[in-house]
Structure 1
Amino acid sequence: MLVTPCIFILLLSCASAYKTIIDVLSEDARFSTLIYHIQRQRLVPYINRLPRGTLFAPDNDAFARCDRKDITKTMLLYHLLPDPMRIDEFHHDQILESLYVRPGFLGSGDPGQHLKVQQHGNTIWINQAKIISKDIPVNRQTYIHVVNRVLEPPPSIETILRRINKDIYQWMDKISMSSLLSQPRPFTIFFSRQSFFTKFNSVEASYLSSSYGQKDLFQVLSFAVVEDVIYANNISSAETHYKTLSGEPLSIKRSGETIAVNEVAMVQHDLLAENGVIHVLDQPLIPDSLTFNVRKYLYGLNATKFVSMMDAHHLSDYLTNDDEWYTFLVPPNHVIDEDDIPENAKTYWLQYHLAAGQWTTEYLRNGMLLKTEFQSDLLKGAPQRLPVHMTDHPSGLSLSFGQSSVMNDPIMLGKNVIYRIAAPLTMPYDLFSSLVVDLNLSTFIATLYVSGVVDKLKDAQGITLFAPTNDAFDQLGLVAKYLLHPSGRTDLQHVLQFHAAKELQYSQDMKEYVIDVPTFASDSLHIVGYEDGRIAIGSNRQQMGKVIEKDILVKNGVVHKIDQVQIPLSQVQITHHHLLLGAGANIMQEVLKQTGLIEVLGPDIVLLAPTDKAFASMDLDVLFNDSEQLERVAKMHIVNSRDVDRQLENKKGVEYATRLSEYDKVIIRNAGHGELMVEVKGNPTGHHARVIGRGTISGNKRFLKGDYGPLAGGVLEIDTVLTPIRRGLFGLPWGWSLTIISAAAILFAGALGATGYLIYNWWKRWHGGYETIPDSENTPDNTE
């Protein structure tokens, strides 16, 4: 009987000695505000049932400093740990699990929201709250630690990033990744204290921030996200791989106090979030799978029109091909007007902006021709060329392709080069649209249309046209006029077709070569290219002209301007008759015909051909009825130039014998300014003739050298008829002849008179006898 009361008393004393957290808090006035909120959230029964645990108890001052007035149940539970922990059990960077559970937020098993311990000297901090009173016992398995701030459960990763790193948050928000990170799923985020754009150049950053780069932007940002919660104290010295949200693995390894993620140092760890943890790295993490191609760079350069056109015309492979080498010439959006480009030419237009090879400024040269990707049928499948213009200035290099200047430095991307150009490239026009605007080729263009050769050259494929300048045609003189004469049409066609080679010959192809190329005439053109860039062409090695402007690109080939018209010698033979046709000297032709002198006009004969207007001042009926005078006039205009040097710099002129006689000569002199004058020697009262046209025949050796000068065999068109002098004795003019005869008669008469006088005196002496004249020395002196 006595045993039972003793047991009862013992049990009663034990019951009265057992306390709960609520009991201890209620006994201390510092926690009145805490008791109030516990009671208000109806947590007294829950806390009283806890068999063990740890409470971080904010005092009244902590609540007074708390900005939040709506202390929730979850906030109060966040102050409770399920296990008893004394102050000496805390250590720096320790992660504690609270009784506040958010299902799914921290992974399987639904662990409670975490707190982080930080220790600085003897001071212990729980999150941002300092423990100001420690180890208040409740019972043997429960302790209270007083903190100076109310603990708030961590927000989501999305919220934390928005607060502490607006840069990365705005890009995550751009691709809707921020909403993903607020979901009730566990994540670990490794973000850099530097902007992740520091790993990219301006073009790449522009691409990633554009609407076209969102997929790659997600790849970059998700590479820093692991779908699990990884706290720093869980990282071991053994390298561990974790699968990221992008699908690629991250390697994490501890080395002493240093933690590295993909060999990037972790500078801050364990920023707690309700759905995971955030770690701060020294540099951004960039996935190896992220690559940049031309397409992405063009998006970054905002050349979106160019890209969309490439896609629309099935040229996308150029933008993603990493195996070939290409140079891209890309105009900006605002200068591209697709309506200006014919639909059937857009593919060619795009290909003309691409060149095979990695053409950096190091390899470009002024005047070179790039082979574009436009392989034209009009060039027999050869690539259309693009001229390069480079000039060194004190301020730097000036570079343009065609007529479009380069705006910035080239961008190197693997094997590719991208140039940003100010305007779209202009593709070569058709042959005559290109040449008709060149006033220095107007004569050549006119002859092409007059001859009918124009259509043949328009339709030709892969040709090289050597276009003589207007000066070159002027040098031909009467030859050019003959070729434009209706009767010279066939010869004109031969001449023009001789200037069109049947194959492409760009200047760089002709350099340092001696070649013969087939033409649309039967003859081949002889081409000599010199090391210094000079190019000479001709019908043979003697008659060579010079290329004075190179590489004028046209749709179906290339044009070079030359300084001399070339004559195909096997097809075109220029005669005096042809030159007279060119001069329109019809009367002179009739004179030669009636006198039969047309046969004497050989390769070294210069024919002085008066114009029809010059003959108008004469009575032609009288002239043609006087065969002797007609022949004299004709012969007076025929000069033999053989073995006569050109000495026209001497303004006194050079004498040339005519066909009339060795005495009948003409004087040709240089009157200055390229003008020649002709006069009849010995006829000071005669009119001087002015040379108004010149032409050289084919058979003359100077013609073979391309020398169309006035003393080569041919025709000099003059504006006055040369009148031969009437001659008497010894081939002298009649006036001189009469003077000589008169003088001779007078001399004869004088001589005859003197002779008669002498004879008379002799006869007189003989008839009167001989009388000796005494010598004064032998005569006696009569005075004696």
Structure 2
Amino acid sequence: MKGLPYAIAGLLSCVATVQCLGEPCKDCDFTSVVDILSASAMFSTFLRVLQRNGDIPTLNELQNFTLLAPVNTAFAGLSDSESIAGFDISNYILRDRVLETSAIDNGTSVIYEGVKFPLGLRRDESGPIRINGAAVVESDLKPNFQNATVHGISELLPDPPNSRGLVHDINREGRSVNIFHSFVESFPGFEQMTDNNTLLIPSDVNFFKCFNHIEINYILDTFDELSSLDGPLAGSWSHDRQIFLQNLICHGIIGGQTANRQIVKNLNNQPVQVTSHELGSSLSVNDSTPSNQANMIFDRGIAHSFSDLPFLPDAFQFTAEKYLHGMNSTDFVKELYFRKLQHMIREKSLHQNLTIFVPEFNSNEHQGFTKSSLLYHFVEYQLWLEEEFKDVNRIHSSTKTFPSAFCSSNKRLGGNCQRLRITKTESSYIINDKYRVLHAKPYMVGRTLVYTISEALQLPGEFLFSLNPFHHCSKSLSLLRQVNLLNLPLNNKGYTILLPCFDSWRNYDLNFEYLRNNATAVEHIAKSMILQSLIYSDTKTQTIEVSNMLDEEVSLSIHPPRSNRVDIELSNVVGKIKIERGLDALFNQGVIHPLKGFYLPKDINISLKDLIETSGANRFLELLENLEDFTSMINESIPFSVLVPMSTFLGPGGITGSSKNLQDFLKVHLAIGSSTHSLLKCDGTISTLFGEPLICRQSSTGDYWLKLQNGDDHEVRILRRGCASSGNESCVFLIDRPISIRWLNRDKKSLRLPGIAIGAGVLVGSVSMLAVFLCILLVLFGKSAKRSPLPASADEEHTNQEARPLLANNDSSRAISNLSHEQNGRFESTYSSNASVPAIDVAYSPR
């Protein structure tokens, strides 16, 4: 009730005049601001609040001020307690300023001196003057006892939010400042920095114009990693954010028309030119696009929102390190710092060409790295994958190798850099057949390219574990294991290994069997094909001298690539070695080239005899060695191939016949050299020494089957193959059974016989028919006779008359002699009971 005397005094003063309550007291000699409020009913609620808060003495003591008095409607809907709660008379007083509406220019102006918080005044040609959004409904009421002005306003003027709260409110209203809001929320001391200053708020559009999502992740610490760091790792991020915010805060309160063409400074002490537009309703800085929203008041300053602040990115000098943080690869950065390799992602990334393959964030958690494995993620030049593989057909894949930054392995690679093997498939890029590049277009920061990959790269391992199992190199590896060449000694040069894989042994399984039993030959061949130098499939065309593991200096010539193949010649190896481009298998000591062919050094001699003996057909070989044609072809080095029946058909009772028949039998198993290719490819006709050609058929299972071209449907299957070191025109083919000349078509054969032979045939036929007729008579006659059982001695005699084996002893000449005199043995005696065709009898002679 302490304000009651003042209210009574005001009332008495008004009664003493002819004015009624509710009208300004114009004739009172000593009127105050309180008198004016008391004289008008529209201020009754405001006056009551002032009385209850004890603010009447404060108003009576003031001089040179302006009071903004809310009219009754401003309190509509509020109870007395709500009207009083949080009420502060300072919100409505302009100290040291008697504001008259006639002095308010059209447009927007800002008052920031002598007020609790800045006031934005807006005057339009139509409509009332507005102060912080409240309309002036009664203006220029002046007491004569105080130098002051009273303006009635339509709304209350509560405390505005602080700077953080203002940004929050703007974002909540959907004005697209979500990114800056997130930044402010994580920045301690933001309110202190904006105290009595002007805040420039960039919108989300502004951020997206100036930064990509990786950079925004770094600015905001989206993954909550940077805020928990300390030391040099955190220092750069904290400094960047500080500079960034200080760029957006200008000294002083700048707004309205007062901002027209001003040069102010931000908190980084950099000049900023501010220009007002549309009578102060919008602003631009440094000739930017005008603000989206201007003159937004907060408790200690003013803010403006922009979608185009040109200097927004000036605070950041992005390096590869900052990009890695933005890609959620902070753990990878920590590893680089731990291994003292941080220079690779800091200043070096800005001034030196570099490519980084960074593992995806969820794959490098708790991942340990060595210094070598970290360097393996770097390429020390810009590797544009799309450019490197631009000529690759979308359907077909292509592979290339690129040197990594891991070049310190002097003992293993002789100081050369370990390579990355990258394959372009239809839909993606794959590193070392395992690691997928997640995006074809890299991020570029400075002069560094950054790719994300599916998981952390592992350095190529040891020889045995670096080969793709689908290359089918197990046979060759077994030979290398046999001579202890799977673990190669450190040579300070690196190795190139030429390794038969895939179907290399398909035509050489007899060679493989021979080598398995000849460790000396295996070691010599293997060491000849292991070079102590690094030769990749994309090594440039040249001729160089290299040494192999036999310490021999050999000449190596690399020919220009043809399609996806590179031909290499070694002076000590027979033929051109065909290397598939991009098939390089990297290992920790060099490179392995999986070959699709089998190659022999020139000083290794594997003969047909070696291969026949390896097949186990020694008896067949004995027969061949007594064949004149065979011996002469061997002595004259004439290329030919041998079809070798399995040894089971050459055992006791296996083959019988005359000497003439035996020679024909052997000759049908000898193919001339020009037909060897047809045998190997199962294509075309195969010429034999016997004169009757063979034809080859490949079954659905991939097996090769042979038959006489002019014969019936009998076929033999090729089981194994092998070729002499003299070349692929002299090979051995192991077949499942002999080829019988009895399979020849008799009709076709008889057409080729001379007339005498035909007459002889007629004579023989007649005699045969007579013999058959006599046999029939004997049989009929025998039925009438009384039969008696065969005595045991007859069985014994029959058994004793069985033919002796063709090769019963090792004397070849005796075997052929016995063959011509003993005709009772039958081939069927040793033929398998499970066979689907009858046994072969070579006793038939075409006559």
TM-score, structure 2 normalization: 0.65
Classify 1:29/1:362 alpha carbon distance in 2 versus 1 (closer, same or farther; 3 Å): closer
Task: Report the residue type matching 1:528 in the other structure.
Answer: H
Q: Are 1:333 and 2:372 counterparts?
A: no
Q: Are 1:176 and 2:188 counterparts?
A: yes
Cα distance in 2 between the residues matched to 1:150 and 1:39: 19
- Kept in 1, the 8 Å contact 2:142–2:150? The answer is no
Q: Which residue of 2 aligns with 1:375?
A: 407
Cα distance in 1 between the residues matched to 2:428 and 2:152: 71
Q: Which runs of 5+ in 2 are unaligned?
A: 1-26, 173-177, 228-236, 390-397, 698-703, 709-714, 739-804, 823-847
Q: Which residue of 2 aligns with 1:388?
A: 422
Q: Are 1:278 and 2:299 counterparts?
A: no
Write out per-residue CA displacement over residues 94-118 of structure 1, whole angstroms, 9 at most, x where no aligned residue: 4446765x6xxxxxxxxxx443322
- Kept in 2, the 8 Å contact 1:513–1:530? The answer is no
- Kept in 2, the 8 Å contact 1:173–1:179? The answer is no
Q: Which residue of 1 aligns with 2:383?
A: 359
Q: Which residue of 1 aligns with 2:548?
A: 519
Classify 1:333/1:62 alpha carbon distance in 2 versus 1 (closer, same or farther; 3 Å): closer
Q: Which residue of 1 aligns with 2:474?
A: 442
Task: Report the residue type matching 1:326 in the other structure.
Answer: L
Write out per-residue CA displacement over residues 175-195 of structure 1, whole angstroms, 9 at most, x where no aligned residue: 22444368xx42211224556
- Kept in 2, the 8 Å contact 1:158–1:178? The answer is yes
Classify 1:386/1:190 alpha carbon distance in 2 versus 1 (closer, same or farther; 3 Å): same
Q: Are 1:532 and 2:563 counterparts?
A: yes
Cα distance in 2 between the residues matched to 1:38 and 1:598: 134
Q: Which residue of 1 aligns with 2:453?
A: 421
Q: Are 1:161 and 2:192 counterparts?
A: no
Q: Which residue of 1 aligns with 2:9?
A: none
> What SS is found at the alignment partner of 1:492?
helix
Classify 1:439/1:115 alpha carbon distance in 2 versus 1 (closer, same or farther; 3 Å): closer
Deviation at 1:676, TM superposition (A): 7.7
Classify 1:638/1:151 alpha carbon distance in 2 versus 1 (closer, same or farther; 3 Å): closer
Deviation at 1:286, TM superposition (A): 0.9
- Kept in 2, the 8 Å contact 1:266–1:281? The answer is yes
Cα distance in 2 between the residues matched to 1:162 and 1:536: 70
- Kept in 1, the 8 Å contact 2:617–2:645? The answer is yes
Counterparts of residues 147-296 of structure 1 (less than 5 Å): 147-149=152-154, 151-152=156-157, 154-155=159-160, 156-166=162-172, 167=178, 168-180=180-192, 185-192=195-202, 194=204, 197-199=207-209, 200-209=211-220, 210=222, 211=224, 212=226, 215=238, 216-237=240-261, 240-244=263-267, 248-253=270-275, 259-264=283-288, 265-284=290-309, 286-296=312-322
Cα distance in 2 between the residues matched to 1:57 and 1:691: 113
Cα distance in 1 between the residues matched to 2:204 and 2:504: 70
Write out per-residue CA displacement over residues 18-63 of structure 1, whole angstroms, 9 at most, x where no aligned residue: 4333344444444444444444444444443445444333344444
Classify 1:33/1:80 alpha carbon distance in 2 versus 1 (closer, same or farther; 3 Å): farther
> What SS is found at the alignment partner of 1:362?
helix
- Kept in 2, the 8 Å contact 1:653–1:670? The answer is yes
Q: Are 1:349 and 2:360 counterparts?
A: no
Cα distance in 1 between the residues matched to 2:626 and 2:112: 132
Range that drifts further, 45-54 or 424-433? 45-54
Task: Report the residue type matching 2:342 in the other structure.
Answer: S
Write out per-residue CA displacement over residues 444-490 of structure 1, whole angstroms, 9 at most, x where no aligned residue: 111112233333478785211111237434534654444332xx432
Cα distance in 2 between the residues matched to 1:677 and 1:50: 127
- Kept in 2, the 8 Å contact 1:55–1:144? The answer is yes
Cα distance in 2 between the residues matched to 1:18 and 1:727: 158
Q: Are 1:87 and 2:97 counterparts?
A: no
Task: Report the residue type matching 1:398 in the other structure.
Answer: S
- Kept in 2, the 8 Å contact 1:54–1:143? The answer is yes
Task: Report the residue type matching 1:171 in the other structure.
Answer: F
Task: Report the residue type matching 2:481 in the other structure.
Answer: Y
TM-score, structure 1 normalization: 0.69
Cα distance in 2 between the residues matched to 1:457 and 1:671: 50
Aligned residues: 655
Q: Which residue of 2 aligns with 1:126?
A: 131
> What SS is found at the alignment partner of 2:418?
strand
Deviation at 1:398, TM superposition (A): 2.8
Task: Report the residue type matching 2:359 in the other structure.
Answer: P
- Kept in 1, the 8 Å contact 2:110–2:256? The answer is no
- Kept in 2, the 8 Å contact 1:236–1:253? The answer is yes
Q: Are 1:324 and 2:335 counterparts?
A: no
Classify 1:528/1:514 alpha carbon distance in 2 versus 1 (closer, same or farther; 3 Å): farther
Q: Which runs of 5+ in 1 are unaligned?
A: 1-14, 103-112, 620-629, 657-665, 679-687, 736-784
Cα distance in 2 between the residues matched to 1:282 and 1:96: 26
Q: Are 1:433 and 2:465 counterparts?
A: yes
Task: Report the residue type matching 1:503 in the other structure.
Answer: S
Q: Are 1:70 and 2:81 counterparts?
A: no
Classify 1:45/1:564 alpha carbon distance in 2 versus 1 (closer, same or farther; 3 Å): closer
Task: Report the residue type matching 2:416 in the other structure.
Answer: A
> What SS is found at the alignment partner of 2:351?
coil
Deviation at 1:172, TM superposition (A): 1.0
- Kept in 1, the 8 Å contact 2:443–2:450? The answer is yes
Counterparts of residues 772-783 of structure 1 (less than 5 Å): none
Task: Report the residue type matching 2:585 in the other structure.
Answer: I
Cα distance in 1 between the residues matched to 2:637 and 2:327: 71
> What SS is found at the alignment partner of 2:526?
helix
Cα RMSD after superposing both structures: 5.0
Q: Which residue of 1 aligns with 2:744?
A: none
Aligned sequence identity (%): 20
> What SS is found at the alignment partner of 1:306?
helix
Deviation at 1:310, TM superposition (A): 2.8
Q: Which residue of 2 aligns with 1:115?
A: 119
Cα distance in 2 between the residues matched to 1:574 and 1:555: 34
> What SS is found at the alignment partner of 2:425?
strand
Q: Which residue of 2 aligns with 1:566?
A: 599
Higher strand share: 1
Write out per-residue CA displacement over residues 132-182 of structure 1, whole angstroms, 9 at most, x where no aligned residue: 333333228735444143552643333333333343444312222444368
> What SS is found at the alignment partner of 1:322?
helix
Classify 1:590/1:612 alpha carbon distance in 2 versus 1 (closer, same or farther; 3 Å): same
Classify 1:643/1:654 alpha carbon distance in 2 versus 1 (closer, same or farther; 3 Å): closer
Counterparts of residues 593-742 of structure 1 (less than 5 Å): 602=635, 604=637, 617=652, 646=675, 656=689, 670=694, 672=696, 703=726, 705-709=727-731
Classify 1:689/1:275 alpha carbon distance in 2 versus 1 (closer, same or farther; 3 Å): closer
Write out per-residue CA displacement over residues 381-425 of structure 1, whole angstroms, 9 at most, x where no aligned residue: 222222222234xxxx43322322333353322323332233344
Q: Which residue of 2 aligns with 1:774?
A: none
Q: Are 1:298 and 2:320 counterparts?
A: no
> What SS is found at the alignment partner of 2:635?
coil
Deviation at 1:90, TM superposition (A): 2.2
Range that drifts further, 27-36 or 666-675? 666-675
Deviation at 1:363, TM superposition (A): 1.7
Cα distance in 2 between the residues matched to 1:554 and 1:642: 44
- Kept in 2, the 8 Å contact 1:614–1:721? The answer is no
Deviation at 1:367, TM superposition (A): 0.9
Deviation at 1:372, TM superposition (A): 1.8
Q: Are 1:452 and 2:474 counterparts?
A: no
- Kept in 2, the 8 Å contact 1:603–1:697? The answer is no
Deviation at 1:242, TM superposition (A): 0.5
Task: Report the residue type matching 2:171 in the other structure.
Answer: N
Cα distance in 1 between the residues matched to 2:719 and 2:62: 128
- Kept in 1, the 8 Å contact 2:424–2:430? The answer is yes
- Kept in 1, the 8 Å contact 2:525–2:600? The answer is yes
Cα distance in 2 between the residues matched to 1:266 and 1:439: 65
